Amino acid sequence: MLILISDAFDKSLPEKLKAFGEVTEDTSRLSEADVVLIRSKTKCTKEYIDEAKNLKLIIRGGVGMDNIDRDYCKEKGIIATNTPKSSAIAVAELAFALMISVPNKIVYFDSTMKKGEWNKKTKRTELYGKTLALLGLGNIAKAVALRARAFGMNVIAYDKYIDKSDLALMVPSAKDAVENADYISMHLPLTDETKGIMGEELISAMKKSPVVINTGRGKCVDEKAMAEALKDGRVSHFCTDVYSVEPCEEDNPILECENVTLTPHVGANSVENLLRIGDEVVETISAFIKEGKI
């Protein structure tokens, strides 16, 4: 069996995978590969899959699988899966770090201090007592909810597949979730239904001027509508780790806005998480071999 590591994983992973067969990082050997390991960079399109003539299994190191043509995989009898257990802590910590940085004005104070300014009169605000709306309540959002509750926040959530939760007050729609939110954290998969969900219609449902954080999928945000909302004050601040096109293009309207905090899709890039992803990859391959699926 040939295992192709197509994207960046922890350096220890190739050695761990040798028990299953040959391991390569040479992407020119795609046509020989039985198993392909990807993250967000590699796009498993129909053309990519057709080139991989021996392919039996694709493992996406991470959660989102919108870079895999899963319908075509199913048609070709190829298993496509991910590592859903691994990334919750890393992404949740980044989402919460972005959220807490805004009321504490961390970026502002740091940049002005380095310019020799002493803006002690600038006031901070607190997360305590504020309302956090979670769009999606999967593993990552649940980890965010735990942290928010520890800070004394009121947590509400919308997830079309979940009616009750011990971590958040569930509401029946995304509009209900954002209506009175001070903070909104997005943790949605990219589907036809969620594409552009954070757009003019949802923004118009907001009664406050919330901080919006997106560590889910870039295309779930209508970036033009978000830029307009930032400029007219309907959204007070936008923090994002993900973009409609990555790397982020120079003409992205979000870059024109001052009240934004941006990171380059590093939510899952903690040292610890890369190790967890590797371990889950090994578990997945081992389980499929035992079940005779590969």
Residue in this structure with the two tokens 């305590």, named with its chain if needed: 128
Query: Is 272 assigned a catalytic role?
Result: no
Active-site annotation holder among 60, 147, 187, 217: 217
Query: Is 217 assigned a catalytic role?
Result: yes
- Sheet arrangement for strand 35-38: 22-24, 2-5, 35-38, 57-60, 79-82
How, if at all, do strands 57-60 and 183-186 pair?
unpaired
| Cβ neighbours for 25, distance < 8 A, ≥ 6 positions apart | 4, 5, 6, 14
How, if at all, do strands 211-214 and 79-82 pair?
unpaired
Query: What is the separation of C-alpha 18 from the centre of its chain, rounded to a whole number of angstroms?
Result: 30
Q: Tell me the C-alpha distance between 195 and 198, whole Å.
A: 8
- 48, 40 contact by CB (below 8 A): no
Query: Is 147 assigned a catalytic role?
Result: no
Active-site annotation holder among 60, 265, 276, 280: 265
Residue 9 in tokens: 């994983």
Three-state secondary structure readout of 25-94: CCHHHHHHCCEEEECCCCCECHHHHHHCCCCCEEEECCCCCCCECHHHHHHHCCEEEECCCCCHHHHHHH
Active-site annotation holder among 15, 47, 117, 246: 246
Give the active site residues: 217, 246, 265
